[in-house]
Structure 1
């Protein structure tokens, strides 16, 4: 379950990376030159040797390299002058060499050049669906947190740290979980009136009413969003206040597109088998359960059919359908909207028929109302009880979790569960992110990273402002508004100081009950706590600088919030391959600088541009400039939509990924310009040893290295079908092939793949 007090749907942010984390081309010339086997062996030696020993060897080898034109050290002087040989530089060189394939031509496939050896030598662990630089850094972070959470209780523990330890202990108490078995779920289902597929003829249809069932879900700590999504969100046309938001729900499979394939699809059959197997485990007759759950699955497929696809959810204005509760009642009369809303919001708020709500997809709600009228109670009950049961499985005994694993393997390719401590650390980090963030910030965060990130943000923002001032397709009025929006962006770096104030955390969590006993009970308490926290804020004015919006410090990701017009870089991402104070700036600008530019550009992608400098949904673009932006975006859509992922043979969805692709293209450009300005202000930096690359080439290599990663085929398909981010290779090759600066720095011929004649550019 996610952190109960993180921003909800309409307050959510655009993320840098998905929460989920090669063929060789013939060299075409340019910078690339042939490498000998000896040189490849030397590369491997550099990658695995002790760092301090490498530094000594590099200095000595530079003398020898002076007479060898093909040496790794070509371009270095006999004394190695002009080469950075600090520990940080040697370590960085080793890490880059370990990942790259120097036999690839960077002008033909820069991703393979930068990450080819990573792809060849790194194996995806059985318990993972993918690996990446993001997951590698996250793994290190989780290991650090583990040392704190598993430490003995002491007088130094605070109430928030003790709560973290209690939740972790309840998750690690597998003996207690096994002893309870499925009984916690059986007790909950009994209170709900029973699961028809399990109860059989004993199920009492007179006890079931879907509205009452939702009320019980709310009371017991389960989602109320099974048939439609109900939330309290920031009003996107007046972002200083909140409003009730009604939308289509998330469904049981990764996306509506899976369900729309129908019952003959192997993934859908696996989903049905998952349901039937769980019902059988709870005591159902398998044959009878399959018949019943097929009907409820067909019901869910109809919900999917009513839902809008992601491609049609990118225009925020079309989703902003405001009406009163009375008007909604008139459109969907068989749902008791007023009593429903008041019961769900109880005891915090009461509304009248004059209350305004946002209905994102009116057609979905109208079709749902008609579907409920013609659907048997038993079918609806089976669907709702299945979804409740599925939400519980992660916190139950192994027999239920084994069923979950079988289904997960079919969808993601993951054939093994993570070690228990990793599962539990993930659950705790996601559920108590502020308490965990405080632990991380106090014990592990290096303060110099914040100052360095502040400086980089200033440089990169300045370059984006220059771009806004010079693009030739904007009219002056829109340009001024765009510059004002850019200047109004609020950065949140590392963590807010309030996070370290234990008094504030104690106050935040005062109503949350956590014990080291039953895990499922703890997770339900977290849901109740989070739902209460959200619902009671309906009448409160939005504080866009509320520290809780930016307090999840132990996260390896970055964010842009259109409703705040803010960028956030948590402490967790200011480390590892992304940032290191003890290495040249070109590496940091290529890595975390790319990230910073990416998030800034999100404010001006196809969705972010719909919001003004205050974070309100408003049309502030002149029609002619808007048309030019759309035309330039179409170039990006077409470019990425024509990429085919070679491993699975699927084309990317250029529409769904356009926002992230625009941000990638703008972000790397801004970071590059910012680094050049830094050099202009502070002077040239020495390049790394062993690579024979210039500082500018190392900037590009560092940027690509951030995206080194590989996926299981099933996960790669899932990412392409449902994700907002392009797969890693296209996050490298796509933006870099659009930038003349890249081709210039690598001397790429006009005929090379990384230097196409037709290039796309939005910002």
Structure 2
């Protein structure tokens, strides 16, 4: 028996990205919050790691976050600190998290993060708290400081919602984009004005959409495809998901994509598993109470809500599971609009696309479909469901997103629902919410201000150099791989060398004229937060419309510079590291290189490896879905991937009674394992070239290579509530955080060597799973 601290990776972003992903991509923090459970006991029996968790669902946590400028982590933003001060500070932080009584060869997670819970607890406005959340909060403090200095612009023109559904607009607002971002922030922070307006802004747009029958028993004409099209123009994907993005088999061409949608709960399992009845009940209460605030008569509404949720449950039942959709080539169907009308004649595709895409669409417009069976089954479901229920459901899904932009009464309903779903006891502070809203909706404008004030250009050049070092490392691993034939090796090498690097920020954000042009059709008012959001959503769909018929612009960035994440795009063979992640503990120019390679270096390696995981390997160097592997290499890959699948499938969370899905998480597990190995090799190469470099941290009696592994592990320190753990185990493509550490290090020959772990010890088993 021995003790482990359990962390899980969460996706609970501070921003609410409502624009569908236009490219297939992977990111290292898709579930981007790390957490652990206190009071964990674990044991290994026949190499099966079992975690026993003791935690109360109703445990209250004290909010003891350190958001002041004198907090240790905040000090890194003080540019005046010199090299010695930075290293002393980082050593202090790393030491206080460690449990030096733990044996690193028995439980490296406990060794690296054993004391983390002594310094941090889950705040009441979070369902999890972790290293990434600290990084995000530090960044949010900096962004808030930028935004709260009010704009001096006197304009206050209100956006016109009547023009939202027009294909083209006359607006050409050349106001500085950073001014618009600050005005948008002011409108979000103006709670008095938001409360004064109440639900009126939402009721006005509902009326434009044709009304919500739940609010009135008066029947109005219902046009399904007009409503679906209008919802898409506001970036809502209900019943079907549709977007413009690179074609998987011709990555230089933008085409229309059609797929099954998301649901009102995190996954289809919430609707289909009878054990989730409490979540369904909370969902119904959220709908009813929202409708009541908007004026519905609850005596008539309850039966309608039951019908809506029953319809959504049937919708969940006809959707394919994640496992069924994992093989991309099997679900991809390339066709065109004319053929779509033959495949699915019950859908008025031409009218829908005329409304959504305007005059540029014609019957020869190419379309990629990923949900043929779903679309066929949806026809039957729609024909067996009354129109009022369908209309009620569609409008509800729109309303669900828009209550974020209303007054405290609606936010209180959302908070009560979040408490049931995720254990979150209160909503975030208003300033945090508004910073997230600006970053989600005007991210390039906010990123421009962040980069100008805080981004050190040396971090960009350092990261580029490290990326090239990691690529060299990966190519060396390729060459050593005896299971790959020479043809596949050479093609893989070409793919690595063709990877497009996006580091820090796009150059145009520093050009005020170009930045203003990006948001030329956005009008912002200090008094109209709700309409501001709708206007920006419509701006986003207009920008998407313009891509159709054009060649793919590989210079475009798909994310704001001021975010803590990293990405790999399969369609573009592109890796992206925004400026927001280039900060401690991932990177600092004064850190020993051991920490930078163990931090951002592993992240870089993770994203590179995504080009060669179970999905990424299906795409060539240009991002085309193409089988470039030889048969022998494919068979060997499957065999090695199965080892990873089997290894991670042994890790079980007994109190949740949910084992890790090793098949579903294999892509991220492969990337984690490959990323660590590549980064360590690149660091070894660097140390050989720089034998006299000072790689020590004061007060830490560890070698530089041991520091590499320690920093790698400490980015996963954290904790979460049981409700969030349940949600993650249902929806996450990442393994729980502890196993992203334990699983990877148990496969690492280099880790065992540097910490002198005896052969067949718990952190150094004889059988290791190695692909890259």
* TM-score greater than 0.5 by the shorter chain: yes
Residue 203 (1) aligns with residue 218 (2): yes
Between the aligned partners of 2:191 and 2:19, the Cα distance in structure 1 is: 32
| Structure 1 residue 325: Cα displacement | 2.4
Residue aligning to 1:658: 666
Distance in 2 between residues matched to 1:714 and 1:50, nearest whole Å: 29
Give the superposition deviation at 1:616: 0.7
1:93 maps to 91
Query: In 2 relative to 1, CA 25–273 (structure 1 residues): closer, same or farther, beyond 3 Å?
Result: closer
The correspondence for 2:204, drawn from 187, 204, 218, is 187
CA contact (8 A) 2:640 2:770 kept: yes
Equivalence for 1:491: 501
Q: Distance in 2 between matches of 1:681 and 1:341?
A: 58
Alpha carbons of structure 1 residues 4 and 273: separation in structure 2 relative to 1, 3 Å: closer
- Distance 1:208-1:378 versus aligned 2 partners, 3 A rule: same
Alignment CA distance shift 1:85-1:104 (3 Å):
farther
Secondary structure, in 3 states, of the residue corresponding to 1:153? coil
> Which has the higher Rg, Structure 1 or Structure 2?
1
Matches for 1:115-194 after TM superposition, within 5 Å:
115-154=113-152, 159-194=176-211
Change (3 A) 1:726 1:126: same
Instruction: Check 1:129–1:20 CA distance in 2 against 1; reply closer, same or farther (3 A cut).
Output: farther
Report what 1:598 is aligned to.
606
Secondary structure of the 1:474 match is coil
Q: Over residues 540-587 of structure 1, what are the superposed CA-to-partner deviations in whole Å (9 max), with x where a residue is unaligned?
A: 1111123x446x211111111111111111111111211111121111
Q: How many residue pairs are counted as aligned between the two chains?
A: 702
Q: 1:480 maps to what in 2? A: 490
TM-aligned CA deviation for residue 659 of structure 1: 0.9
Q: Is the 8 A contact 1:263 1:269 kept in 2?
A: no
1:360 and 2:409 correspond:
no
**Which residue matches 2:23?**
11
Tell me if the contact between 2:447 and 2:561 (Cα under 8 Å) persists in the aligned partners: yes
Map 1:34-433 → 2, pairs under 5 A: 86-154=84-152, 159-199=176-216, 202-204=217-219, 206-218=220-232, 222-262=234-274, 265-346=277-358, 348-352=359-363, 354-433=364-443
Distance 1:50 1:728, change over 3 A: closer
Shift of 1:487: 1.1
Give, in angstroms, the shift of residue 25 of structure 1: 6.7
Confirm or deny: 8 A CA contact 1:578 1:591 kept in the other structure.
yes
1:312 to partner: Cα distance: 2.0
CA offset at residue 154 of structure 1?
A: 4.9
User: Which structure shows the higher helix fraction?
Assistant: 1
The reply on whether 1:578 has 2:583 as its aligned counterpart is no
Q: Is the 8 A contact 1:107 1:753 kept in 2?
A: yes
Question: Separation in 2 of the partners of 1:723 and 1:638?
Answer: 18
Q: Which residue is equivalent to 2:697?
A: 688
* Aligned mates of 1:635, 1:744 — CA distance in 2: 22
Secondary structure class of the residue paired with 2:323: helix
| TM-score using structure 1 length | 0.88
Give the SS at the match of 1:243: strand
Matching residue of 2:47: none
Report the CA distance shift for 1:263/1:741 in structure 2 as closer, same or farther (over 3 A): closer
Distance 1:418 1:681 in 2: 48
**Helix, strand or coil for the counterpart of 2:250?**
coil
Asked whether the 8 Å contact 1:261–1:268 carries over to 2, the reply is: no
Identify unmatched segments of 5+ residues in structure 2: 1-12, 34-38, 45-69, 73-81, 155-173
Asked if the contact 2:236–2:398 (Cα under 8 Å) also holds between the matched residues in 1, the reply is no
CA distance in 1, matches of 2:444, 2:649: 39
Query: What is the Cα deviation at residue 237 of structure 1?
Result: 0.4
Q: Distance in 2 between matches of 1:400 and 1:498?
A: 38
Structure 1 residue ranges (4+ consecutive) displaced by more than 6 angstroms after TM superposition: 1-7, 155-158
CA drift of 1:203 comes to 2.2
Gap change, CA 1:701 and 1:519, over 3 Å in 2: same
Q: Which moved more, 1:171-180 or 1:722-731?
A: 722-731
Mapped partners of 1:610, 1:732: distance in 2? 27
1:236–1:615 contact (8 Å) kept in structure 2: yes
Structure 1 residue 243 displacement after superposition: 0.9
1:449 has 2:464 as partner: no
Q: Is the 8 A contact 2:318 2:377 kept in 1?
A: yes
Q: Matched residues in 1 for 2:31 and 2:515: separation?
A: 26
1:612-638 Cα deviation digits (max 9, x unpaired): 011111000011111111111111111
What does residue 536 of structure 2 align with?
526
- What does the per-residue CA deviation read over 1:120-151, in whole Å, with 9 as the maximum and x for residues that have no partner? 43111111121222221111111111111111
Identify which range, 452-461 or 555-564, moves more after superposition: 452-461
**CA–CA distance in structure 1, aligned partners of residues 91 and 435 of structure 2:** 32
SS at 2:306 equivalent: helix
RMSD: 2.5
Distance 1:8 1:469, change over 3 A: farther
Q: Which residue of 1 aligns with 2:79?
A: none
TM-score scaled by length of structure 2? 0.87
Q: Secondary structure at the match of 2:355?
A: helix
1:86 aligned counterpart, secondary structure: helix
Q: For residues 646-694 of structure 1, give each alpha carbon's deviation from its aligned partner in whole angstroms, at most 9, with x where no partner exists.
A: 6745311212211111110000011111111111111154432333211
Partner SS state of residue 233, structure 1: strand
Does the Cα contact within 8 Å between 1:25 and 1:109 map onto a contact in 2? no
Are 2:745 and 1:740 aligned?
Answer: no
- 1:712 and 2:743 correspond: no
Cα deviation for residue 3 of structure 1 reads 9.3
1:681 and 1:363 map into 2 onto residues whose CA distance is: 57
Contact between 2:16 and 2:437, CA under 8 Å: does it hold in 1? no
Deviates further, 299-308 or 320-329: 320-329
Partner of 1:725: 734
Q: Tell me, yes or no, if structure 1 residue 505 matches structure 2 residue 515.
A: yes
8 A Cα contact 1:5 1:534, kept in partner: no
Tell me by how many angstroms 1:645 deviates.
3.4
1:621-660 equivalence runs, <5 A: 621-645=629-653, 648-660=656-668
Q: Deviations over 1:585-618 (max 9, x none)?
A: 1111111111111111111111111110111110
Distance in 2 (alpha carbons) for counterparts of 1:8 and 1:180: 29
Distance 1:323 1:596 in 2: 36
Give 3-state SS (helix, strand or coil) of 2:523's partner: coil
Change (3 A) 1:316 1:292: same
Aligned 8 A contact 1:653 1:721 in 2: no
Report if the CA contact (8 A) 2:271-2:280 is conserved.
yes
User: Structure 2 vs 1, CA of residues 216 and 8 (structure 1 numbering), >3 Å: closer, same or farther?
Assistant: closer
3-state SS in 2 of match to 1:514: coil
* 8 Å CA contact retained: 2:18, 2:236: no
CA distance in 1 between partners of 2:30 and 2:665 (Å): 12
Tell whether the 8 Å contact from 2:15 to 2:436 is kept in structure 1 after alignment: no
